[in-house]
């Protein structure tokens, strides 16, 4: 009976936290929706981070498509990852974000923790060409934002794991088009994908490719 009462008390506390717009991190830290909004608003972005407009577009794509398992190649300090992470959290899914620089990995993981997303977003350290093949299972979302000349290599590693209906996004496809021409030729001409190039933000005067995997 005592254990039953304790269980009821725990459930009540969790329900109160959810109703108050709270998310509990793995360490029991309360993170409010308001805190998250302020954290994102005041995030100290660098040139390697996605813009606010692009990050919101990524979040909407993940949420709208109901994606449950995603991979990001190129974490930087985690601005894009935490934005997408909010959508994956809503969907009951998980995002794996890959970053080659050890110091940047620490920063990214710290930002993920501050946002209370450590149970939803995992930052993996190492060269994506080496870490991607070690990931198992299927994906319904992929975001490429690392070495531009390697975009096609990343895609070819991920491709066998992409579910039909998966969304694939490539960043910087306007200003860096020449460096990733093989990727653009493939993703735009393959019968397995429907692709469009868009601009969600003018901050970098750049754009993204958004592809839908047909089969």
pLDDT tens per residue across span 157-213: 999 999 999 999 999 999 999 999 999 999 999 999 999 999 877 887 899 999 999
Which residues constitute the domain of residue 100?
A: 22-213
Mean pLDDT of all residues in 91-111? 97
pLDDT of residue 202: 80
pLDDT-based confidence at residue 11 (cuts at 50, 70, 90)? very low
Structural domain contains residue 89? yes
- The residue written with tokens 């653009």 in the block is 184
Mean pLDDT of all residues in 86-95? 97
pLDDT-based confidence at residue 49 (cuts at 50, 70, 90)? confident
Asked if 86 and 36 count as a contact pair (C-beta separation under 8 A), the reply is yes
Q: Express as a percent the part of the chain with pLDDT over 90.
A: 75
For the chain, how many structural domains are there in total?
A: 1
Q: What CATH number does the domain containing 173 carry? A: 3.40.50.150
Structural domain contains residue 8? no
Structural domain contains residue 7? no
């Amino acid at each position: 009976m005592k254990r039953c009462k304790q269980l009821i008390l725990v459930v009540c506390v969790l329900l109160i936290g959810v109703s108050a717009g709270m998310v509990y991190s793995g360490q029991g830290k309360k993170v409010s929706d308001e805190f998250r909004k302020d954290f994102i608003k005041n995030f100290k972005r660098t040139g390697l981070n996605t813009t606010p407009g692009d990050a919101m577009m990524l979040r909407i794509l993940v949420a709208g498509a109901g994606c449950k398992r995603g991979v990001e190649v190129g974490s930087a300090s985690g601005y894009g990852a935490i934005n997408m992470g909010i959508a994956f959290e809503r969907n009951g899914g998980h995002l794996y974000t890959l970053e080659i620089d050890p110091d940047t990995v620490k920063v990214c993981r710290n930002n993920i923790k501050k946002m209370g997303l450590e149970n939803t977003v995992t930052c993996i350290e190492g060269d994506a060409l080496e870490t991607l093949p070690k990931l198992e299972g299927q994906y319904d979302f992929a975001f490429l934002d690392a070495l531009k000349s390697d975009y096609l290599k990343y895609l070819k590693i991920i491709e066998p794991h992409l579910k039909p209906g998966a969304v694939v996004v490539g960043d910087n496809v306007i200003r860096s088009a020449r460096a990733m021409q093989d990727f653009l030729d493939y993703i735009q001409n393959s019968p397995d994908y429907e692709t469009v190039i868009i601009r969600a933000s003018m901050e970098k005067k750049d754009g993204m490719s958004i592809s839908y995997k047909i089969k």
